Amino acid sequence: MGVSTFMKKLLQKLNKPSAKYSILALVLIGAVITVAGVVVMNKSLDYFSQTEFCVSCHTMQQNYEEYKQSIHYSNAKGIRAECVDCHQPKDFVGKIWRKMGAYKDVYHHFVTGKIDTPEKFEEHRLELAQKVWDRMADENYKTCTTCHSYEAMDHDKQSVQAMKEMIPAAKENMACIECHKGIAHELPNMAGGFRKTFETLTASATAPAGAKKLFSIEEKSLFATADANGKVEGQLLPASEVEVVGEEGDMLKVRVQGWIETNGKGRVMTEYMGKRVFKATVRGDVKATETVISEEVDPATNIAWKQVAVNAYITKDHLVESIDPIWDYASEMYASSCNSCHAAPAPGHFTANGWISSLKAMSAYYRLSKTEERTLLKYLQNHGSDTGGAGAH
């Protein structure tokens, strides 16, 4: 059969009428409907992706006002990033997926009223921000890299401080959001997350019967007798290990082991020889129970140290059997407090002693209680470059 004969037969078949229309007519109608559908969908996506549409809900007004104060809205180069540039991927699949996910926003706007007042918005700001950050991470930050590229940066045209930060960031291919979480909107109160974690940890932190080893989640008073109303003879610091040697009523008799300087006053006990990772302070009758386990000289400083143990009584609250939940909480605190303005160094970046001055230098930029700060420091020190980097005691 020749090509011309085949084409004639095909056209005859297509022109053969169905119940009412020819197959060719149906194909043409289907093609027109498909094209019209694509055009309508494209125009609809364009309309629903406009900033004006995004902020038409009153719950978005606070976000919009914050955005208008940002460099993404107004800058020297006159380049403006609209809402969708940060919140909606450019590829078709990513765009559709994000639009489908927006049903939650519509639901909470019209049904639950979850953020329909400034007070409610602030209450949920951290939760909402975290969802956006997580989504950006899942998408490999492609909304950021649509506009920003390390390869396109001319570091010589950046400020000295920007160059100092961007060159190592480029080498590590860091995500923009690791340092720029507050670039378009106000940062949430980052403490909300880790403080809720601590509340949960506290609710279950009671020494279980028969436990042999426990860790403190905050400061605990040390007593020489099984009397919680008696004289306090020392303090056990957060994230410190004790060995349970007995139980009397509502009190635990514990053995606290650590290091003290041989020629010092012997009141401050540390986790390691020669490292200022504080574990406890002891005095009076608790200090009187001290026994020496070993004696060594720190080769780095030639200072003599004694490894000692003391016996004391503590209450059963604020104690857990594993250090892991304390480190998880402290890690969350570190990420919230020290990663909100810049990419914080890994805990293994500094030595245990080096973390003391490093954290102190940043104290003006975070708002932590004394106990929180001590827990954070203990976490960083126990994960430092000279303590094994694994949180071991």
Least confident piece of the model among 25-39, 151-165, 290-304, 315-329: 25-39
Ligand-binding site membership of 144 (annotated): yes
* CB hemisphere CA count around 112 (13 angstroms): 10
Ligand-binding site membership of 185 (annotated): no
Helices (H), 139-190: 142-145, 160-172
pLDDT grade for 346, boundaries at 50, 70 and 90: confident
pLDDT at residue number 12: 61
Ligand-binding site membership of 124 (annotated): no
Position 387 pLDDT exceeds 80: yes
More confident residue, 39 or 286: 286
Ligand-binding site membership of 349 (annotated): no
Looking at the domain that runs over 28-145, which CATH code has it been given? Answer: 1.10.3820.10
Delimit the domains of the chain by residue range: 28-145, 151-176, 204-318, 322-381
pLDDT grade for 32, boundaries at 50, 70 and 90: confident
Cβ atoms of 177 and 301 within 8 Å: the answer is no
d(CA 32, CA 288): 94
> Tokens 């403080």 belong to which residue?
195
Ligand-binding site membership of 108 (annotated): no
User: SS3 for 249?
Assistant: coil
Per-residue model confidence as pLDDT tens digits over 113-145: 888 888 888 878 878 888 888 888 888 888 888
Residues recorded for the chain: 393
pLDDT at residue number 89: 86
Q: 309 Cβ partners below 8 Å, 6+ apart?
A: 255, 256, 257, 258, 290, 291, 293
Ligand-binding site membership of 393 (annotated): no
Ligand-binding site membership of 341 (annotated): yes
Residue 124's identity, in one-letter code, is H
Give the CA-trace dihedral at 13, 17, 23, 28, to 10 degrees.
120
d(CA 267, CA 276): 13
d(CA 11, CA 13): 5
Ligand-binding site membership of 155 (annotated): no
d(CA 40, CA 42): 5
* Percent with pLDDT over 90 in the chain: 35
Position 38 pLDDT exceeds 90: no
